[in-house]
């Protein structure tokens, strides 16, 4: 699915905490392999897309310009770090980190969520930047 990604959708839903708190929450959702026109196609066929419409109204939706390579791991890491593939270093869905002496692949949920590789090639993902600034992720 990740090899022929035409366009990734990014949905961000900002939920306000109770009025007494001044901290906002951001939920970042990426739909891998989800074409930019799937929702319009579904609506035209009379499918119920009310949940997506609700997210659009509460937050925002953006089209993402693909990075080259359009594979799952490199694309998602580019979104998380704000760096292109040539700057963050992940060029495939499988990679070996010499520093950690470990292999990673995006379909291995146990390994791909280990936080020790997230700063691969010095590319810090947004949740680590958030935590470094004293916030919770």
Q: Which residues are catalytic?
A: 72
In 3-state terms, what secondary structure has residue 10? strand
The 10 Å Cβ neighbour count of residue 27 is 12
Torsion of CA 25, 83, 124, 103, to 10 degrees: 120
In sequence order, what DSSP letters do the residues of 114-132 get, joined into one string?
-GGGTTGGG---HHHHHHH
Q: Is-contact 75 8, C-beta < 8 A?
A: yes
């Amino acid at each position: 699915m990740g090899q022929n990604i035409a366009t990734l959708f990014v949905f961000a839903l900002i939920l306000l905490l109770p009025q007494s708190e001044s901290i906002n929450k951001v939920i970042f959702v990426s739909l891998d392999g989800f074409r930019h026109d799937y929702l319009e196609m579904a609506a035209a066929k009379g499918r119920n897309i009310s949940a997506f419409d609700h997210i659009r109204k509460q937050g925002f939706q953006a089209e993402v310009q693909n990075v080259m390579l359009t594979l799952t791991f490199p694309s998602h890491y580019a979104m998380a770090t704000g760096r292109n593939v040539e700057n963050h270093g992940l060029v495939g869905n499988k990679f070996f980190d010499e520093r950690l002496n470990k292999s990673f692949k995006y379909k291995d949920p146990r390994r791909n969520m280990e936080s020790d590789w997230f700063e691969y090639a010095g590319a810090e993902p947004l949740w680590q930047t958030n935590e470094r600034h004293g916030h919770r992720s």
